[in-house]
Amino acid sequence: MKEFMVILAAILLLMLFATQYTLQQVNDYRIGQLQLYVNVAKEKAKISGRFTADIVTELKNNILSTFKDVEEDEIIIDVTMTPKYRTVDFDERELIHYKIGVPIKNVIAGASFFGISDNENKAYYILEGATTSELIAP
């Protein structure tokens, strides 16, 4: 009976590794999709010289379609909304800055088994950078 209990406990612990691997695959897919959405929005912003309201709305909708467990107010979007124009020589004034973040919930599988609360079992994935404007000054 003692051996049976030890084997059962070992199987339960080993199952956590399989569930963690699966959870990591899901999180990696979501992060990859987020990177794709941000890249598309960044390229659109390059062409228009700024992040327009339409670009931000499309970005939010794409994020919400992939991250089903995330509310709209949890998404961090801090982008350049004022027009930036392309210059002949590189100048800091032509940079379009962006900072986009999404909470990744359930980072660790079986967190309650290890005594980790839901509040501690999440993290923000933030993409931050800048791109140059392609908008020509009028």
Q: Which two tokens stand for residue 55?
A: 């670009």
Distance CA 38, CA 27 (A): 16
- Report whether 109 contacts 23 (CB < 8 A): yes
Q: Name the pTM for this structure.
A: 0.86
Measured between its terminal Cα atoms, the distance across the chain in Å is 83
Domain membership of residue 138 (yes or no) is: no
**Number of structural domains found in the chain:** 1
Q: Evaluate whether residue 98 is within a structural domain.
A: yes
Query: Exposure string (b/e) for 36-53, b if CB count within 10 Å is 16 or more?
Result: ebbeebbeebbebbbbbe
* Coil, strand or helix at 33: helix
In a domain, 35, yes or no: yes
12 belongs to a structural domain: yes
Task: Report if residue 49 sits inside a domain.
Answer: yes
| Domain encompassing residue 12 | 2-132
Domain-located, residue 117: yes
pLDDT 10s digit of each residue in the chain, 138 long?
888 888 888 888 788 888 899 999 999 999 999 999 999 999 999 999 999 999 999 999 999 999 999 999 999 999 999 999 988 888 888 899 999 999 999 898 888 878 889 889 999 999 999 999 998 887
